[in-house]
Amino acid sequence: MTRPLRIAQVAPPMERVPPRAYGGTERIVYELVKELDRRGHQVTTFASGDSLVPGTLVPTVAEALRPSGYSGDASPWFYLTIQQVLDQAGEFDIIHSHLEWASFLLARVSPIPVVSTFHGRLDLSWAAATFGRPTPGLVAISANQAATHPEVDWAGVVHNGLTLDDSPFDRRRGDALCFVGRVAPEKGIVEAIDIAKATGRPLRIAAKAGPMAAEREYFDTVFMPAVEAAGATVEFLGELEQTDRDLLFAESYATLMPGSWPEPFGLVAIEALACGTPVIARRVGGLPEIIRDGVDGFFGDDVEQLAYQVDRVETLDRAEIRASVLDRFSAGRMTDGYEAIYRTMLGSAGSAEDAGSGARSESGSGSVAGNGSTAGGVSERSEEPRPLKPVMSDAPDLAASGRAS
């Protein structure tokens, strides 16, 4: 009988795992740790000391940096995290890093295989040079994100997943729209106010204001004046914890995502859809891989088009929206995808057989998670690698298309 894997999950030191409020990467790390532990794997999480995770926690800082007020250069803390992981590398079969660009350094010096998931945008000035040196185990979270570097030999594309079953759902809705995210120009937060004005609907905003000087300046000189000018129709709620954020989604007529930023994935979208709340968004980044136009919500190219789409929300089936997203973006399906990549990284014999052995897979899906691997672990690796696809069976083939549909 094969043994469970010994897996190190490496989180950034910025937010606790799970985050109390905002923190997309840390939420995904928590969901993955929780599900891997449930499946019988031995999981060690490198994260801030105030984190609450099953398995073993190795504190990398006493408490998460952002909530504690730290706004300086975080890179030294990332390097210290790498140092701690390397000091214990011999205790693991595989390391899964969520340290963004610092993952390259860890992968290149680690004595054991490293899987590196990128949670942010990759169309940056230094990206081509960094990706230019082949590095095994690179994972994207959407086909669109991976397509920004088609030359990369991606280990797989694994859509994010959350535990969404307990998301509140009520067919009775108010008239208000909601916006959830960051107070930042690229997120379209001021455009959300303009859309609400154009539709004559109230808007409730739950958003994080960052600590950096440029973020504070935008908050003080652009965002708050726009809120004040809108009067009583716009309510700024600040940063909400998950329970309150879910209630906001569940009570809202629709969720607005009008930002031009190419979302690498879009956790806000699946959170809203799990509450049966349609999403009105720009067609950017990974959002078309989540939102089925005319089924889960609608896309538009500017404020005028997005405002026009709001009234069409009434035609959508909220119960069907919820059922679909619970199936497509569950934590179990995400974990299936990562287990398949772990198997591939560890090889076709020995430790590779350990990946997922004795593990209780939730979805049993056969969607492709990486070259030659399936999310549910049903198929054996083929002699010729299959075209790379995400863990969503109807997602576009990256080998044939340079962008997500």
Question: Tokens at residue 152, please?
Answer: 């990369």
370 vs 271, residue with greater confidence: 271
Mean pLDDT of 390-396: 37
Q: Are residues 147 and 244 in the same domain?
A: no
Q: Are 233 and 203 in contact (CB under 8 A)?
A: yes
Q: Is residue 213's pLDDT more than 80?
A: yes
- Residues 292 and 366 placed together within one structural domain of the fold: no
Q: Residues 345, 364: one domain?
A: yes
Same domain, 390 and 341: yes
Average pLDDT over residues 227-233: 96
Single residue among 301, 328, 355 that ends a domain in this structure:
328
Q: What does the pLDDT read at residue 2?
A: 57
Does residue 243 sit within a domain?
yes
In whole numbers, what is the pLDDT of the chain averaged over residues?
Answer: 86
> Residue 21: its pLDDT value, please?
76
Bridge partners, residue 203, by sequence: 177, 234
Three-state secondary-structure class, residue 156: strand
223 belongs to a structural domain: yes
Confidence band of 392 (pLDDT split at 50, 70, 90): very low
Give the pLDDT of residue 3: 74
Does one domain contain both 6 and 151?
yes
In a domain, 143, yes or no: yes
310 and 335 in one domain?
no
What stretches of 110-241 show up as alpha helix (H) in DSSP? 127-131, 143-147, 189-199, 213-218, 224-230
Cα angle, residue 245 at apex, residues 241 and 249 outer, rounded to 5°: 175
Q: Tell me if 181 sits within 8 A of 269, measured CB to CB.
A: no
Task: Give the mean pLDDT of 362-368.
Answer: 40
pLDDT at 375: 37
Residue at 15 is within a domain: yes
* End-to-end CA separation in angstroms for the chain: 43
CATH code of 273's domain: 3.40.50.2000
Residues 319 and 372 in one domain: no
Are 16 and 154 contained in the same domain?
yes
In tens, the pLDDT along 242-261 reads 899 999 999 999 999 999 98
> What pLDDT was estimated at residue 210?
82
- Cα distances from 4 to residues 39, 240, 334, in angstroms, run 9, 37, 18
**Strands laid side by side in the 6-10 sheet:** 56-59, 42-47, 6-10, 94-97, 114-117, 138-140, 156-157
Q: Is residue 383 part of a domain?
A: yes
Domain assignment present for 31: yes
Is 244 part of any domain? yes
How many Cα neighbours within 13 Å face the side chain of 372?
13
Do 133 and 239 fall within a single domain? no
Q: Where does the pLDDT of residue 171 fall: very low under 50, low under 70, confident under 90, or very high at 90 and above?
A: low
Q: What percent of the chain has pLDDT over 70?
A: 85
267 and 310 housed in the same domain: yes
**Within-domain flag for 278:** yes
What is the band of 156 on the pLDDT scale with cuts at 50, 70, 90? very high
| pLDDT for the residue numbered 385 | 31
pLDDT at residue 401, rounded to an integer: 30
Number of domains in the chain: 2
Comparison of pLDDT for 370 and 343, the residue scoring more? 343
Answer yes or no: is pLDDT of 138 > 90. yes
Q: Which helix (H) or strand (E) holds 109?
A: helix 102-109
Q: What is the pLDDT of residues 197-206, one digit of tens each?
A: 999 999 999 9
pLDDT for 353 equals: 41
Per-residue pLDDT, averaged over 149-154, amounts to: 95
Structure tokens of 314? 């009434």
pLDDT digits (tens, 9 = 90+) for 367-383: 344 443 333 332 233 33
Cα torsion angle, 352, 353, 356, 357, sign? negative
Same domain, 307 and 375: no
DSSP string spanning 247-286?
A: HHHHH-SEEEE---S--SS-HHHHHHHHTT--EEE-S-TT
Domain span including residue 238: 177-328
Q: What is the pLDDT of residues 84-124, one digit of tens each?
A: 999 999 999 999 999 999 999 999 999 999 999 999 999 99
- Each residue of 37-73: pLDDT tens digit? 999 999 999 999 999 999 999 999 999 998 888 878 8
Q: Select from 313, 328, 343 the last residue of a domain.
A: 328
**Predicted local distance difference test score (pLDDT) of residue 183:** 95
Taking 50 as the threshold, does the pLDDT of residue 74 lie above it? yes
- The answer on 317 and 335 residing in a single domain is no
Query: Which helix H or strand E contains 177, and what residues bound it?
Result: strand 177-182
Closest CA to 98 of 158, 186, 178: 158
Q: Which of 302, 328, 354 is the last residue of a domain?
A: 328
Closest residue by Cα to residue 338 from 93, 159, 163: 159
